[in-house]
């Protein structure tokens, strides 16, 4: 089978690797002229690391990342109100959840692709059904004929817009700033992800390697995203712990990656004929559970497994049936977390924090166990 992947992000590259492991030689068409890594980190939770263990790159990733012992939800002063122990899942799955720079993950994926051709500066412009396949036209005035197409082209997927033009991207009215900077964390914060919840804002940080940390800051805007400015970050988070102020001041503002947090309103059809959507193109989620990339990585593993043993139509149907329930659950729960974490009312935030504090850690573990089980 000739398989063409649209998009060379984490989802597209992981899909290509998974397909190679099953004997395929895919092509990737990427709109960027260069594969430049976003200056940000990424959390690879147990479900993603299970996939990468199957694909044979777990040890490389672990050697280039920081192992995570826990996720801590805190007050702005970093007083912990809820904790999830990742070591429980380390023992269960015999692998480690990690924090890693996106650029390093991208590099490792590229180094392990041996039979995949990647075409840069190929921004998809149109797709036309033909008798024996599809004609894909790109903005560089080139075109190809394709028989099997996997859309890994993200939340603004042109393939999805072509197949399902009524799909809706939803804004949370929250601005997110992401940064990577050189910073020496005090020992009590190392190997742990901290996310501090305030009023209509939150701030998180995690160690990436010996010298660097990754952080993100989120704030609600009222009317227009332009009312917020990265130049005022230290002001927005003035009521947070002193170390958060130090992290902000240690980061050059021109290196920040700024986005409005959005997701894709769940759609219930991911494929049509020999075209199938994967990753954010199918189920883009807000980042509040750290599962956006992880769900895409699961997609990559599943689609390759089904294409190996089924005809294309059956493979796409099995893939959707296996993945859609869990992916949509993540979209829903992540959206709710994003709203709850930004409550402003002091009475509401008090009861929210109290509920988090009183929820047994075992309850949190049981919820994640269902999330981390691969759907195959």
pLDDT at position 192: 96
Q: How wide is the angle at C-alpha 329 spanned by C-alphas 275 and 354, nearest 5°?
A: 155
pLDDT at position 376: 59
271-272 vs 143-146, strand pairing mode: unpaired
pLDDT at position 212: 94
**Domain contains 89:** no
Sheet of 212-220, strands arranged across: 80-85, 70-74, 192-197, 201-207, 212-220, 169-182, 257-264
Q: 279: alpha, beta or left, given left = phi > 0 and alpha = psi -120 to 50?
A: left
**Domain contains 347:** yes
Tokens of 305: 């497994």
Give the alpha-carbon dihedral of 177, 182, 187, 190, to 10 degrees: 50
Distance between CA 280 and CA 151 in Å, rounded? 9
**Domain contains 153:** yes
pTM for this prediction: 0.95
**Domain contains 132:** yes
| Residues spanned by the domain of 134 | 3-38+104-169+267-372
Angle of helix 292-309 versus helix 10-21 axis, rounded to 10: 30
Domain count of the fold of the chain: 1
Q: In CATH, what number is assigned to the domain containing residue 113?
A: 3.50.50.60
Distance between CA 243 and CA 236 in Å, rounded? 14
**Domain contains 70:** no
Contact 69, 207 (CB under 8 A): no
Closest CA relative to residue 94, chosen from 370, 376, 372: 372
Closest CA relative to residue 122, chosen from 111, 136, 108, 134: 136
Ordered alpha helix ranges (H), the chain: 10-21, 46-54, 58-63, 87-93, 102-111, 158-163, 233-236, 242-249, 280-283, 292-309, 312-340, 346-358, 361-372
**Domain contains 177:** no
**Domain contains 84:** no
In sequence order, what DSSP letters do the residues of 280-311 get, joined into one string?
HHHH---GGGS-HHHHHHHHHHHHHHHHHHS-
pLDDT by 10s per residue, the chain, length 376: 799 999 999 999 999 999 999 999 999 999 999 998 777 999 999 999 999 999 999 999 999 999 999 999 999 999 999 999 999 999 999 999 999 999 999 999 999 999 999 999 999 999 999 887 999 999 999 999 999 999 999 999 999 999 999 999 999 999 999 999 999 999 999 999 999 999 999 999 999 988 899 999 999 999 889 999 999 999 999 999 999 999 999 999 999 999 999 999 999 999 999 999 999 999 999 999 999 999 999 999 999 999 999 999 999 999 999 999 999 999 999 999 999 999 999 999 999 999 999 998 888 888 888 888 886 5
**Domain contains 175:** no
């Amino acid at each position: 089978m000739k398989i063409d992947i649209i998009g060379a992000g984490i989802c597209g590259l992981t899909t290509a690797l998974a397909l190679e492991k099953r004997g395929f030689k895919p092509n990737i068409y990427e709109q960027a002229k260069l594969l430049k890594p976003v200056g940000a980190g990424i959390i690879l939770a147990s479900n993603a690391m299970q996939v990468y263990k199957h694909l044979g790159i777990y040890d490389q990733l672990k050697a280039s990342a920081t192992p995570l012992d826990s996720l801590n939800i805190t007050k702005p002063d970093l007083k912990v109100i809820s904790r999830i122990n990742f070591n429980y899942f380390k023992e269960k799955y015999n692998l480690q959840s990690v924090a890693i720079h996106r650029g390093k993950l991208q590099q490792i994926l590229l180094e392990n692709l041996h039979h995949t051709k990647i075409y840069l500066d190929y921004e998809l412009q149109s797709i036309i059904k033909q008798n024996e396949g599809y004609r894909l036209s790109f903005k560089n005035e080139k075109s190809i004929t394709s028989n099997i197409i996997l859309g890994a082209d993200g939340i603004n997927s042109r393939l999805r817009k072509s197949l399902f033009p009524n799909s809706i991207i939803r804004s949370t009215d929250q601005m997110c700033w992401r940064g990577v900077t050189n910073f020496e964390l005090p020992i009590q914060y190392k190997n742990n992800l901290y996310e501090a919840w305030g009023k209509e804002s939150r701030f998180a940080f995690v160690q990436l390697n010996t010298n660097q940390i990754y952080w993100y800051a989120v704030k609600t805007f009222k009317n227009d995203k332009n009312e917020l400015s990265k130049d005022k970050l230290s002001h927005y988070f003035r009521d947070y712990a002193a170390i958060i102020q130090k992290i902000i001041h240690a980061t050059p503002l021109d290196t920040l990656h700024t986005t409005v947090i959005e997701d894709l309103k769940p759609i219930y059809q991911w494929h049509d004929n020999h075209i199938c959507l994967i990753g954010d193109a199918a189920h883009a989620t807000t980042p509040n559970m750290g599962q956006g990339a992880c769900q895409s990585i699961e997609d990559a593993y599943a689609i390759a497994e089904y294409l190996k043993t089924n005809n294309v139509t059956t493979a796409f149907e099995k893939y959707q049936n296996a993945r859609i329930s869990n992916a949509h659950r993540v979209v829903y729960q992540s959206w709710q977390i994003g709203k709850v974490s930004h409550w402003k009312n002091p009475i509401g935030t008090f009861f929210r924090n109290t509920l988090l504090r009183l929820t047994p850690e075992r309850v949190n573990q049981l919820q994640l166990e269902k999330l981390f089980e691969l759907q195959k």
